Amino acid sequence: MTSHTAQNHGQNVSIAPLLNDLVETKHASSQKATTADEIAAALSLVFQNQLSPSQCSSFLTILRTTERDREPLVLARCGQAMREAAAQVDRKALRNIARVRGGKEGSYRGGFCDLVGTGGDGWSTFNVSTTASIVASSLLLLSKHGNRASSSTSGSADLLQAIRPIAPVIEAVTAKVLPSVYERSNYAFLFAPTFHPGMRHVAPVRKELGFRTIFNLLGPLANPVEGNIEARIVGVPQEGLGSIFAEALRLNGARKGMVVCGEEKLDEISCAGRTHCWRLVERPNPAFRGPRDEEDEEFTTSDEEGEPRSLIDIERFTLEPSDFGLERHPLSEVSPGRMPEENAATLMRLLRNELPRCNSVLDFVLLNTAALFVVAGVCDSDTSDMGHKDDGEVIRETGPGGLRWREGVRRARWAVESGQALASLERYIEASHAATD
């Protein structure tokens, strides 16, 4: 804690002064308001099991009622605290793997990507982000961060564990073995309880509170490989959260990404209508004085106080299924979501290319996969040589944001129809079993 005095009571730390200040000041604009760093420091005590249940409950409740948990800087700092408390991955090893195995194309530099939603939209749709992440791993390195269901019938972990005939061993993919998994596979599922063991201390409090807290927002900001993420799509269930999350990502150092919210308050790109988008766009900084051709994407400048190599803008626009060359499908056709076993069966039918071409679930997945391809930058390429069944005919037509959404769908269809998406899942399953040896 910084300006607030933390008081030790046995193993617990009292944050009573901070709680009092949060109640009294309420808004960050107040001169005496509790800072984002102080809030994050208090949150870090949760992961160390150093807050009493009553103070933890009060803390989460006050953040919610004062809406301090809707401030970009608070979310960014708390996401950082959560990542620092997580199991630490070997970032250097992951960077080396990306350089060797990452398939650079267009403006995609071969880095890791994520496709994730906050949840809580109430629609309980088919597991589109998990399925789309698997399809996208045919061309991208994917670090899918997820958990079991909390507000739906089938979470990402539930879906993967229901795959037949052989399911991945999701608990076996730990921080220690993650590099070896990526030596075999483009895809890895980062199971939240494995990478964030400190979250078990707050689980009883969250269950008793019964309402969504800051932890329901932090998942997309707490990917354990955050420092290695090149591109991501984050879904939010309220339009008002879009700009907040986009700014939180920018504050976290993200350079390439997009926050989306379906007009139906859906934390995915909607197959039924409009989707609001906030895209992070990296632009050269004219004030930067370092070399322009540095191959290390983490390079900025040797002067810590100097100008950064690039600047990040946030562009806002809307998308429709027609921008992707696809038809609209009512959400009733992709929700309510089924139990994990049924969703897993649908996943496997999709990956085996057994669904009809205009199937609503297939189109829903193609939309979201295509968007990640576009945001990652592979669709910027004017050539295409993906392999078997690729006709090489790049669709150069652009849509909202000046981007090639239809080209994203062409590549997503290829991933399914060529069998590469299924092959990618199978390699991940094999790698997860190998991690248990």
In the block, residue with structure tokens 């789309």: 132
Rg (CA), the chain: 21
CA atoms within 13 A on the CB side of 232: 29
Quick one: tokens of 245? Answer: 């999350």
Residue 290: the pLDDT is 77
Q: Enumerate the β-bridge partners of residue 280.
A: 257, 314
- The total of other beta-carbon atoms located within 10 Å of residue 73's CB is 17
- DSSP letter assigned to residue 105: B
Distance from C-alpha of 208 to C-alpha of 223, rounded to nearest angstrom? 26
Helices and strands in the chain, H and E counts? 16, 9
Residue 120: the pLDDT is 87
Residue 27: the pLDDT is 64
Phi-psi region of 10 (alpha: psi -120 to 50; beta: other; left: phi over 0): left
Residue 293: the pLDDT is 57
In the block, residue with structure tokens 């990507």: 113
**Which segments of 149-244 are extended strands (E)?**
187-191, 229-235
Nearest to 261 by CA among 276, 245, 278: 276
Residue 10: the pLDDT is 47
Residue 381: the pLDDT is 98
CB 56, CB 205: distance < 8 Å = yes
Q: CA dist 277 to 209, 267, 398, Å?
A: 32, 11, 16
Residue 32: the pLDDT is 63
Nearest to 355 by CA among 140, 162, 167, 126: 126
Q: Enumerate the β-bridge partners of residue 14.
A: 7
CB 389, CB 113: distance < 8 Å = no
Dihedral of alpha carbons 19, 24, 29, 33, sign:
negative
- pLDDT (tens digit, 0 to 9) for every residue of the chain, 437 residues total? 444 545 554 479 999 999 999 998 866 666 568 999 999 999 999 999 999 999 999 999 999 999 999 999 999 999 999 999 999 999 999 999 999 999 999 999 999 999 999 988 888 899 999 999 999 999 999 999 999 987 678 899 999 999 999 999 999 999 999 999 999 999 999 999 999 999 999 999 999 999 999 999 999 999 999 999 999 999 999 999 999 999 999 999 999 999 999 999 999 999 999 999 999 999 998 888 877 655 554 444 334 567 888 899 999 999 999 999 999 999 999 987 689 999 999 999 999 999 999 999 999 999 999 999 999 999 999 999 999 999 999 999 999 999 999 999 999 999 999 999 999 999 999 999 999 98
How much of the chain is helix, strand and coil, in % rounded to 5?
Answer: 45, 15, 40
